[in-house]
Amino acid sequence: MKLEGTFVAMATPFTSDDQIDEEGYRANINFLIENGVNGLLAAGTSGESATITHEEQKKLIEILIDEAKGRVITIAGAGSNSTAESLDLVKFAGEAGADYALVITPYYNKPQMHGLIKHYETLNNNTKIPIIVYNVPSRTGTDLTSETIVELAKMDNIVGLKEAVSDLEKFTTTFKLLKDAGITDDDFSILSGEDGLTVPMMSLGVKGVISVVANIDPKRMSEMVNAALKGDFVKASELNYELYDLMKALFVESNPVPMKEALTMMGKPSGDLRLPLVPLLDEDREILRKALKDANLI
């Protein structure tokens, strides 16, 4: 399956007694598929991976695979700040039948670049499922260098990168170094991890997005990305501007707080957040509500 297009970093809905809302999760999966997305990610940051247990993480992956039934690409959130834990989760994702495993750079312990290479090399050498590396320095405290990305891209099972940085020059550097190393788009795909910068990133060679906003407006996000993939950046830019206020509102406080409240406002399964995340401040809730109304989503 080609790693390009719109992939949704799904929310994890909870019941009133703080259990995974399986029925609601399945409903959200079908809503997103019906609105044209290319793939779905279970148990990522947007799915509150920091506060779900490994058992819940595995359950979410299993539900996603079962409900998707091959209709879209399935991606399993499988990262940790421990290589041993990451290896267990990546192996589980492969055995469960996920198409890809998304593996965040280890957080808090701030490994060196050569430590990160060893981390991913261990996963690469001991699993078979294709792996997407996730670089999000604003959350992890570690930023993969372009040179390190190239070294990871040389590994057989490392097939992609979710890059959540705003430095467009870094993308240019990374793509040039990949080209110089003889690594093509067919070998290694880079996906945006920043909804609001997806269109300019795609003009540089990025193949799509793993999106928060697509939880709320999957149809327009998919149309935007598809237009950019076809080289129609006029249409892609128009859709980007249509989505701009919504994109800003969905990050008015830490993700996934606004996104889960938006789902609730839309009548979609969501449930409460797990501490230490708490509901939006009143003034931010009104910003979000206005953005949803202006986008004709409520």
Q: Which structural domain range is residue 79 located in?
A: 5-230
Contacts of 54 (CB under 8 A, 6+ apart): 85, 88, 89
247: Cα within 13 Å, side-chain hemisphere: 16
Instruction: Kindly state whether residue 35 falls inside one of the protein's structural domains.
Output: yes
pLDDT band at 277 (very low <50, low <70, confident <90, very high): very high
> From the candidates 25, 100, 120, 134, which is the catalytic residue?
134
Instruction: Kindly state whether residue 206 falls inside one of the protein's structural domains.
Output: yes
Helices then strands (H, E): number in the chain?
12, 8
Instruction: Kindly state whether residue 237 falls inside one of the protein's structural domains.
Output: no
> From the candidates 162, 170, 207, 260, which is the catalytic residue?
162
Tokens of 228: 């950019």
Rounded to an integer, what distance in angstroms lies between the CA atom of residue 155 and that of residue 21? 37
Q: Give the model's pLDDT for residue 1.
A: 76
Across 126-130, average pLDDT: 97
Residue 123 Cα distances to 78, 126, 175, 190, 269, angstroms: 11, 5, 24, 19, 34
Rounded to an integer, what distance in angstroms lies between the CA atom of residue 284 and that of residue 297? 17
Instruction: Kindly state whether residue 292 falls inside one of the protein's structural domains.
Output: no
Domains: count for the chain:
1
Residue 2 pLDDT more than 90?
A: no
Q: Give the model's pLDDT for residue 52.
A: 97
pLDDT in tens, 218-270: 999 999 999 999 999 999 999 999 999 999 999 999 999 999 999 999 999 99
Active site residue 162: yes
pLDDT in tens, 160-206: 999 999 999 999 999 999 999 999 999 999 999 999 999 999 999 99
Beta bridge partners of 132: 102, 160
Q: Look over the chain and give the mean of its residue pLDDT values, rounded to a whole number.
A: 97
- Percent of the chain scoring above 90 in pLDDT: 99
Instruction: Kindly state whether residue 213 falls inside one of the protein's structural domains.
Output: yes
pLDDT band at 87 (very low <50, low <70, confident <90, very high): very high
Can you give the CATH number for the domain in which 131 is found?
A: 3.20.20.70
Rounded to an integer, what distance in angstroms lies between the CA atom of residue 27 and that of residue 183? 39
